[in-house]
């Protein structure tokens, strides 16, 4: 009886070892099918399925390092035969027309995203936040400017980004703060200081095809709300109740001077 039990245990151990080995071999082979490549477009559309007519699920900046697998599905693009590759990081598809096995000079192209947030627009002088984000070769630069009447602060941040399924995850740290003054449509730097803020700031950009741009986590409420319209050309959300505003109009200045009814909330886009 003991011999039979020992024999069964031995068989189970052998089966378990064999399963582990074959599983490891399978995983190893799957990993070997992927190869490292770099994007060559300033902003590369990633498709839901391997078709040029498929939905765009995100955009990838120039020079981003990717793990790709050739699907052997062919598409004629710009008169050339190209194959669709699965991008492991985002679980979407790109054409190898826009891929290169070697990293290209990082100064050639950038994905430049801009966002503007104008509030209390009935104030004739204007108050707003304007951001410009440059992404390429897994590096990120952000200019974050706050304008209040004729003065402002312009923060400069640098860091890196990585692809995270349905978003671009960016880690940034302040490097400099500039004090600005504005007059006659011009901006002038009056003081530059090294930043003392050593904290890491994280921005998650989520692509929304209906907006043709990226929103942040805190902007989901504008997309899902029935109170806001969005303007693709200007890349903004605006309260639906705001049908007219003119900062020099009497009604605007008296009734809405301190109201956020006509605020523009900008999302990131590359137009």
- Three-class HEC string of 67-93: EEEEEEEEEEECCEEEEEEEECCCCEE
Q: Which residues pair with 208 in a beta bridge?
A: 213
User: In 3-state terms, what secondary structure has residue 208?
Assistant: strand
Say what the pLDDT of residue 254 is.
62
Most confident among 58-72, 106-120, 121-135, 137-151 (mean pLDDT)? 58-72
Say what the pLDDT of residue 24 is.
46
Say what the pLDDT of residue 159 is.
97
| Contact between residue 171 and residue 200 where contact means Cβ atoms under 8 Å apart | yes
| Chain centroid offset of residue 171 CA | 12
Q: What percent of the chain has pLDDT over 90?
A: 57
Say what the pLDDT of residue 32 is.
63
User: Is the predicted pLDDT of residue 43 greater than 50, yes or no?
Assistant: yes
* More confident position, 191 or 224: 191
d(CA 182, CA 188): 6
**Under the phi-then-psi rule, with left for phi > 0, alpha for psi from -120 to 50, and beta for the rest, what region is 47?**
beta
* More confident position, 64 or 259: 64
d(CA 157, CA 188): 19
Closest by CA to 182, choosing from 143, 144, 153, is 153
Ordered alpha helix ranges (H), the chain: 2-33, 220-224, 250-255
Average pLDDT on 151-177 reads 94
Say what the pLDDT of residue 13 is.
40
User: Is the predicted pLDDT of residue 16 greater than 80, yes or no?
Assistant: no
User: In 3-state terms, what secondary structure has residue 14?
Assistant: helix
Say what the pLDDT of residue 101 is.
93
| Contact between residue 235 and residue 223 where contact means Cβ atoms under 8 Å apart | no
d(CA 99, CA 63): 9
Say what the pLDDT of residue 168 is.
96
């Amino acid at each position: 009886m003991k011999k039979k039990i020992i024999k069964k245990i031995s068989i189970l151990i052998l089966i378990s070892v064999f399963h582990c080995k074959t599983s490891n071999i399978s995983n190893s082979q799957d990993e070997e099918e992927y190869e490292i490549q770099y994007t060559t477009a300033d902003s590369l559309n990633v498709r839901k399925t391997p078709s040029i007519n498929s939905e765009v699920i995100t955009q990838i900046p120039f020079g981003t390092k990717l793990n790709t697998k050739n699907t052997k599905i062919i598409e004629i693009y710009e008169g050339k035969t190209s194959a669709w590759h699965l991008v492991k990081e985002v679980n979407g598809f790109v054409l190898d027309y826009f891929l290169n096995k070697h990293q290209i000079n990082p100064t050639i192209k950038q994905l430049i995203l801009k966002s503007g947030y104008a509030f209390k627009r009935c104030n004739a002088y204007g108050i707003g936040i304007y951001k410009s984000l440059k992404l390429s070769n897994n590096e990120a630069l952000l200019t974050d400017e706050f304008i209040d009447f004729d003065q402002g602060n312009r923060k400069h941040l640098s860091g890196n980004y990585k692809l995270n399924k349905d978003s671009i995850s960016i880690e940034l740290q302040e490097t400099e703060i500039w004090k600005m003054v504005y007059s006659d449509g011009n901006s002038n730097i009056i003081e530059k200081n090294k930043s003392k803020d050593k904290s890491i700031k994280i921005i998650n950009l989520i692509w929304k095809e209906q907006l043709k741009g990226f929103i942040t986590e805190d902007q989901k409420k504008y997309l899902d709300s029935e109170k806001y319209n969005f303007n693709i050309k200007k890349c903004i959300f605006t309260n639906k109740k705001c049908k007219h505003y003119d900062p020099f109009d009497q009604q605007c200045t008296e009734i809405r001077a301190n109201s956020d009814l006509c605020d523009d909330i900008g999302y990131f886009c590359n137009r």
